[in-house]
Amino acid sequence: MANVAVIGAQWGDEGKGKVVDWLASRAGIVVRFQGGHNAGHTLVVGNQTYKLSLLPSGLVRGKLGIIGNGVVVDPEALLAEIARVEAQGLKVTPESLRIAENAPLILPLHAAIDRAREAARGDRKIGTTGRGIGPAYEDKVARRAIRLADLAEPETVAAKLDELLLHHNTLLAGLGAPVFEKQALFDQLMALAPRVLPFAEPVWERLDAARRAGTRILFEGAQAVMLDVDHGTYPFVTSSNTVAATAAAGAGVGPGTVGFVLGIAKAYATRVGSGPFPTELTDATGALLGERGAEFGVVTGRPRRCGWFDAALVRQAVKVSGIQGLALTKLDVLDGLAELKIGVGYRIDGELFRRLPAAPGAQARAVAEYEVMEGWSGSTRGARSWADLPAQAVKYVRRIEELTEAPVTLLSTSPERDDTIMVRDPFEG
């Protein structure tokens, strides 16, 4: 039996939460390995809807959840999220949730820097969530981050705050924003320490033991390949690597442990925030997709931009992330449309490309090339087998497989957990 890594194959918001929840019923451990509380996974379980940002989705299914060292953790946000799901009846304790002791922390000054810099960009905003994710990753690579284990050493926290404030207060003052006082931050962190340290451990040891015991591990990605800081539509990306290879480094396991790579893609495309979107629809069809798909960001609350499925983009994600199978979600949103389009490439200054170039100017000028397909009149909603699908819907899925060069492993036809067609079990490898 293989382990499975679940990642987004577009710009995020593809329905990873439902797929992870669906797979978690047969896993022993679910691991978040990158990102922060800028992620948003929605799980619909019976009459309960859980909106998770930091917590691994497997907790909803009673599985051990692990937050890996590749995640930047806002302790205040974490405790608030735990309180929120506990109010819904889901108990989260150090027995059900473990956090890598070497995970970097997001401090209030990170969010302040994030918001101040985004405001200073004016109409050239990147579209960040303003939650301090990027500045926290900057401090990690600059070797000045406060990590979870540091909270057990007040003298370490005090020394690191000196360096952090020297850097960040200078930036904040230059941007005309209020600066931070060391004592207030120190007192805040010391008050948080006894509440979050019980969750801390060297999770790499636990994961190594699980691997040796044959326990199934599900690696849960956040955001998506096209928001990867290296491979995405830079600079309109997140601040971490979102590709499947990050699961190993972000959890503390060898690359062979990652297992089957499952990419999640909507049957159309959406994006939150700024950045290129060649297949975007700003007409009535785009509005219809947004309405039917309830396209609002879980974290940001912003309406998502909607457009046709971009097979060239997903094919690129498949190649750079080693995706072995696709989980295609929200097929039912396309029900009843007379005509469908699939992006197959881009015209940039008259030249045809089968990939999205790295240069931001070229990305902004990219005009989608389409293949047109007939839609279907029947309903796909709630389908649980290929026989339940209209023939034209099957043709649409098969064409996506051909154009992306990736087989559709799972097909989701509603937000409900069991409305899923499994073509191939990812855990079988």
Is residue 322's pLDDT more than 90?
A: yes
Cα separation, 126 vs 291, in Å, equals 25
What CATH topology corresponds to 265-428? Adenylosuccinate Synthetase; Chain A, domain 3 (3.90.170)
Q: If you classify domain 108-196 with CATH, what class do you get?
A: mainly alpha
DSSP H helices, 233-323, are: 246-251, 284-292, 311-321
User: Residues near 54 by Cβ (< 8 Å), separated by ≥ 6?
Assistant: 32, 36, 37, 39, 67, 71, 73, 74, 77, 78, 81
Where do the structural domains in the chain lie, given as residue ranges? Answer: 4-101+199-260, 108-196, 265-428
Radius of gyration of the chain (CA): 22
Greatest alpha-carbon span in the chain? 67
Cis amide linkage into residue 390, ω under 30° from 0: no
CA distances, 214 to each of 27, 204, 295 (Å): 11, 15, 39
In 339-393 the beta strands, taken as DSSP E runs, fall at 339-348, 351-353, 367-374
CA distances, 380 to each of 19, 214, 254, 329, 343 (Å): 18, 37, 40, 11, 22
Is residue 1's pLDDT more than 70?
A: no
Q: Can 41 be counted among the known catalytic residues?
A: yes
φ, ψ for residue 371, nearest 5 deg: -110, 130
Cα separation, 198 vs 201, in Å, equals 8
Residue-level pLDDT at 38 = 80
DSSP-based three-state secondary structure for 421: strand
User: Residues near 343 by Cβ (< 8 Å), separated by ≥ 6?
Assistant: 269, 278, 279, 308, 309, 310, 311, 312, 313, 368, 369, 370
**What is the residue whose two structure tokens read 């004592």?**
183
Q: What is the pLDDT of residues 35-51, one digit of tens each?
A: 998 877 777 777 778 88
pLDDT-derived band at 299 (thresholds 50, 70, 90) equals low
Question: Looking at per-residue confidence, does 310 or 222 come out higher?
Answer: 310
pLDDT-derived band at 273 (thresholds 50, 70, 90) equals confident
Among 79-83, 127-131, 138-142, 216-220, the minimum mean pLDDT is found in 127-131
pTM confidence score: 0.93
Query: What is the rounded average pLDDT for all residues in the chain?
Result: 93
Residue-level pLDDT at 346 = 98
CB 239 within 8 A of CB 285: no
Architecture category of domain 4-101+199-260 in CATH: 3-Layer(aba) Sandwich (3.40)
**What is the residue whose two structure tokens read 């850097």?**
167
Residue among 226, 224, 333 at smallest CA distance from 285 = 333
User: In this structure, what is the dihedral angle of CA atoms 114, 119, 125, 128, given to the nearest 10 degrees?
Assistant: 30
52's tokens: 């998770």
Question: Looking at per-residue confidence, does 125 or 418 come out higher?
Answer: 418
Q: What is the 3-state secondary structure (H, E, C) of 23-65?
A: HHCCCCEEEECCECCCCCEEEEECCEEEEECCCCHHHHHCCEE
List beta partners, residue 372: 341
**What is the residue whose two structure tokens read 């326990």?**
215
User: In this structure, what is the dihedral angle of CA atoms 26, 29, 32, 38, given to the nearest 10 degrees?
Assistant: 60
The 8-class DSSP code of residue 304 comes to P
Residue of 21, 37, 41, 332 marked catalytic? 41
410's tokens: 């799972």
CB 321 within 8 A of CB 245: yes
Is residue 185's pLDDT more than 70?
A: yes
